[in-house]
């Protein structure tokens, strides 16, 4: 996963707070873009990188625990999708697990039909 990847709704993330298993968790980012954490409450996650979210949680935990060390890892990417329409075998919405090119998206949709104009 590229480090510049921005988190989004429905992405599953793992939050690890070193030496604090009660604060560590695997959770989905809610549709409103937040995750709920013990002690500090809701934290905005959507639109941030995993590193930026870890830094935000670390900063908020400083008022409650000494020298918090937080890491955030993306477990499952669910916020990125693409619609492939037109003369492809299986038009529709496809969930992306990583960045894809247009040609890769067309391939995910089963490739071109016999009626596709491939040069346009």
Position 64 confidence tier, pLDDT thresholds 50, 70, 90: very high
pTM: 0.74
Distance of alpha carbon 39 from alpha carbon 101, whole angstroms: 42
CATH code of the domain occupying 12-76: 3.30.1950.10
Distance CA 4, CA 64 (A): 29
Say if residue 117's pLDDT is above 90: no
pLDDT digits (tens, 9 = 90+) for 13-63: 999 999 999 999 999 999 999 999 999 999 999 999 999 999 999 999 999
The structural domains of the chain, with segments of one domain joined by +, span 12-76, 80-111
E-only strand ranges, the chain: 12-17, 25-28, 34-37, 41-44, 70-76, 81-84, 92-95
Contact 81, 100 (CB under 8 A): no
């Amino acid at each position: 996963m590229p480090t510049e990847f921005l988190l989004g709704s429905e992405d599953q993330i793992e939050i690890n707070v070193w030496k604090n298993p009660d604060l560590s968790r695997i959770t989905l980012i809610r549709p409103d873009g937040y995750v709920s954490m013990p002690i500090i409450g809701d934290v905005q996650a959507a639109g941030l990188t995993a590193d930026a979210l870890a830094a935000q949680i670390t900063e908020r935990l400083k008022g409650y625990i000494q020298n918090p060390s937080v890491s955030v890892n993306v477990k499952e990417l669910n916020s990125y999708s693409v619609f492939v329409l037109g003369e492809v075998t299986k038009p529709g919405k496809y969930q992306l697990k990583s960045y894809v090119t247009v040609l890769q998206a067309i391939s995910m949709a089963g490739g071109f039909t016999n009626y596709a104009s491939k040069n346009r």
